[in-house]
Amino acid sequence: MHPGIILVSLFAFAKEFSTPQSFIVSEHNFAHKSDHRSMTNTRLYYQNAYTTRFEATIVERVREDGQTAVVLDQTYFYPTSGGQPFDTGTINNVPVQNVTIREKDEAILHWLDTTNLWEDKVIGHINWARRFDHMQQHTGQHILSQSFIQIAQAETVGFHLSDNSLTIDLHTSQLSPTQIEEAEYLANQIIWQNRPIRIRMVTVEQAKKLALRKLPPVRQGNLRLIEIEQFDLTACGGTHVSQTGAVGIIKIVKLERQNNQLRVEFACGQRALHDYSLKNSIVNQLAADLTTGIEEILPSVLRSKEENKDNRRLLKKQQEQLLYFEAADLLQKGTMVGKTAVISRVFTSDELEPGQLRILGNHLTQSGQVIALLGLAGEKSQLLFCRSQSAPGEMNQLIKPALQILGSAAGGGSAAMAQGGGPGTDKERVQQAIEKAERLLLGQIR
């Protein structure tokens, strides 16, 4: 096929139809391109995704926001489009940092890290590792999309490929785990049968007579079709492998339901291998750590979780009991002011948790005539002043002056109970705050 025929127009409708199956060759644009730049901008990757070295001529140099780009008469660099990222590589040994399509005329811009715009004749190199990764993932997508149609009549309505993620969105509200498994199995069968994958150019009229997985919403022009022998036929502008075997394997890794769509995350070929290596390493580490076989990891973790829950419940119960004893002990040591026992105590965060200060305060002031001035020192400081119903004193008048010593104003409460917190501080500082409150209290109740 003559390279000129492969001139493709994507932009006119790429906006309304963004899956890679949607790429077309438009007669209108072909005509437009066959004027003074009839040989410019030929997309060589449409015919052959395996070529990584090519010669070309610079036909235009672009400067934009301090960036430089060149347009070549022909290129193997794939530009970001249709859910597939751009190729990287070099042009005359200068790294290509991005490849984009210019909206007004669909020229392919190769963005370069240089201000030197050399001679016109250049040599381009495609980064094969990245190109092949995209070919594997993208071809895998065609296979999996067709598999979901055959197993569950679930159509693909979205596709996204990036360096670390590969997803399709299925238009379906209901898919059983068995259907998911069957679609994955069918996809791998197709891979292992190593079916040929062919590129065909047809007119829209011809395409309408073919059983395309998806017919792009266009009225005229030519379509580039990707055919997986006796399995899938669809319009697409991406790069694909030439036989299904090169995809290696397809593994579905995650499902995410969104309204009436199902997002299927999967991995093909070397990405699937990488995913397996990572998970294998995690599973082996877990098995070693839990000193159990791989099959026993899950029951073992679930058992541990249950035990942990029980232990936490028990610990909480025992801590509450301890607080009772602590309260009884403090009540013994209180200072009597008239008939009121005044108890003051500063804890560190090793001794007590913030929530427990309140429980202790409750225990202390449940009965009798008791005033408790409690403090907690640590990463955050805390004060709790409370009294029993029958005890005198205005706790809310004590809290602010005491908190000032901690460098905080965040606190308040009622006559019976007031509390507040401040920044982290040591025991001595909190002790000073409590002593300040004590002096004020004695003024109140004497």
Catalog residues that contact Zn ion under the rule CB under 5 A: 20, 138, 236, 238
Minimum CB separation of residue 201 from Zn ion in Å reads 15
Q: How far is the CB of 180 from Zn ion (least distance, A)?
A: 22
- Residue 214 or 363: which CB sits closer to Zn ion? 214
Give the residue with the Cβ less far from Zn ion, 22 or 425.
Answer: 22
Min dist CB 40 to Zn ion, Å, is 25
Distance in Å, CB of 238 to Zn ion, minimum: 4
> Minimum distance from CB of 246 to Zn ion (Å)?
14
Q: Which residue lies nearer to Zn ion by CB, 222 or 382?
A: 222
The two three-digit tokens of residue 330, written as one number:
């403090």
The answer to whether 415 and 396 are in contact (CB under 8 A) is: yes
Shortest separation between residue 82's beta carbon and Zn ion, angstroms: 8
| Nearer CB in complex with Zn ion: 42/239 | 239
**The amino acid at 13:** F
Please name the residue that has the structure tokens 């249950």. Answer: 306
Distance CA 119, CA 290 (A): 64
SS3 content of the chain, % helix, strand, coil (to 5): 40, 30, 30
φ/ψ region of 291 (left if φ > 0, alpha if ψ in -120 to 50, else beta) reads left
What is the 8-class DSSP label of residue 86? P
Q: How far is the CB of 13 from Zn ion (least distance, A)?
A: 16
Element (H, E) at 133: helix 128-152
Question: For the purposes of burial, counting CB atoms within 10 Å of the CB of 158, is it exposed (0-12), middle (13-18) or buried (19 or more)?
Answer: middle
Q: What whole-number distance in Å separates Cα of residue 195 and Cα of residue 188?
A: 12
Shortest distance in whole angstroms from residue 19 CB to Zn ion: 9
Give the count of beta carbons closer than 10 Å to the beta carbon of residue 288: 9
Only one residue has tokens 């437009």, namely 32
Q: Which neighbouring-strand residues pair with 262?
A: 170, 257
User: Is the CA virtual torsion 271, 274, 278, 283 positive or negative?
Assistant: positive
Name the nearest CA neighbour of 253 among 269, 271, 267, 274.
Answer: 267
Pairwise CA distance, residues 127 & 135, whole Å: 12
Query: Of 126 and 236, which has the nearer Cβ to Zn ion?
Result: 236
Nearer to Zn ion, 168 or 399 (CB): 168
Q: Whole-angstrom Cα distance, residue 146 to residue 135?
A: 17
Least distance to Zn ion, CB of residue 20, Å: 4
Q: Which residue number, 33 or 138, has a Cβ lying nearer to Zn ion? A: 138
Q: Judged by CB, which is closer to Zn ion: 138, or 387?
A: 138
The residue number with the shortest CB distance to Zn ion is 236
Closer residue to Zn ion (CB): 40 or 244: 244
Pick 82 or 378: Cβ nearer Zn ion: 82
3-state secondary structure 406-441: CCCCCEEECCCEEEEEEEEECHHHHHHHHHHHHHHH
**Minimum distance, C-beta of residue 48 to Zn ion, in the bound complex (Å):** 15
Beta strands 340-348 and 370-387 are parallel
